[in-house]
Amino acid sequence: MPRQVHLFERPSRFVAGTVGQPGDRTFYLQASDDAGRVVSVALEKSQVQVLADRMAELLDEVATRPGAVVPPDADVDDLDPLTAPVDEEFRVAAMGLAWDAEQQAVVVEAVAAGEEPIEEDAILSDSDEGPDALRVTIAPGAARAFVARARRVIAAGRPACPLCSLPLDPTGHVCPRQNGYRR
């Protein structure tokens, strides 16, 4: 089956966001362009965290190169919710991250889960076969803004138990450090 790749070259918006209440949230990457096209893909909170961390590391590394123009950390400018309706295109199984030196841009690719394990060569490739993907090319400033927003979205979850660091539900939780008593 041919692969469908949703390409966004310098989208008007590329963000991480959630739908639902803390403890019952679904995380999404969402890209949109000026033509009104919006693509949302679901992923795990840990995948958002890893993407934000790796993107920050990539930008910091690129900033050390001679002649590179990479802005320092950015504030969160985009606090708007995800563009509705949020229709999940696919669930992300793997991601790729790269620096395009020619375009001076960050390339992010989120690849759909399939029936077979994803081969590393399929990520960030232009192959006609393989799993569906969302590929976004963004400027360094937009990448810094993505990192700032993603970290804010992650931090907006449930507070952590001061004893075991597991998330607290509104009704508390069974804390392993309290030998199974509710905290």
Give the pLDDT band of residue 119 (cuts 50, 70, 90). Answer: low
pLDDT in tens, 73-88: 666 678 899 999 999 9
Here the contacts of 93-100 (C-beta below 8 Å, separation 24 or greater) are 93/118, 93/131, 94/118, 94/123, 95/43, 95/47, 95/50, 95/51, 95/123, 96/123, 96/124, 97/51, 97/54, 97/55, 97/58, 98/124, 99/58, 99/62, 100/137
Q: What phi and psi, each to the nearest 5 degrees, are found at residue 129?
A: -110, 150
Domain that holds residue 38: 5-178
Q: How far apart are CA 56 and CA 180, in angstroms?
A: 38
pLDDT higher than 90, residue 160 = no
Half-sphere exposure of 28 toward its Cβ, with a 13 Å CA cutoff?
24
Query: Is residue 15 situated within a structural domain?
Result: yes
- Is the pLDDT confidence value at 183 over 60? no
- Asked whether the predicted pLDDT for residue 136 surpasses 90, the reply is yes
CB atoms within 10 A of CB 127: 11
pTM for the full model? 0.84
Q: Does residue 183 lie in a domain region?
A: no
**Per the domain annotation, does 164 fall within a domain?**
yes
Amino acid identity of residue 139, one-letter, is A
Domains held by the chain: number: 1
CATH number for the domain that contains residue 174: 3.30.2450
Residue 167 lies in a domain: yes
In the predicted structure, residue 121 carries a pLDDT above the cut 80? no
Average pLDDT, the chain: 87
Strands 105-112 and 133-138: antiparallel
Mean predicted confidence (pLDDT) in 64-74: 74
Contacts of 101 (CB under 8 A, 6+ apart): none
Eight-state DSSP code of residue 158: P
- Supply the pLDDT for residue 181: 63
| 114 occurs within a structural domain | yes
- Give the residue with greater pLDDT, 6 vs 130: 6
Q: Calculate what percentage of the chain has a pLDDT beyond 90.
A: 58
Specify whether the CB–CB gap between 111 and 118 falls below 8 A.
yes
Q: Which of 18-32, 42-56, 79-93, 155-169 has the lowest average pLDDT?
A: 155-169
Q: Are residues 58 and 106 in contact, defined by beta-carbon separation less than 8 angstroms?
A: yes
pLDDT surpassing 90 at residue 165:
no
- Where does the pLDDT of residue 59 fall: very low under 50, low under 70, confident under 90, or very high at 90 and above? very high
- Asked whether the predicted pLDDT for residue 10 surpasses 60, the reply is yes
Residue 169 identity (one-letter amino acid): D
Return d(Cα 138, Cα 154) in angstroms, integer.
21
Strand partners, 2: 129
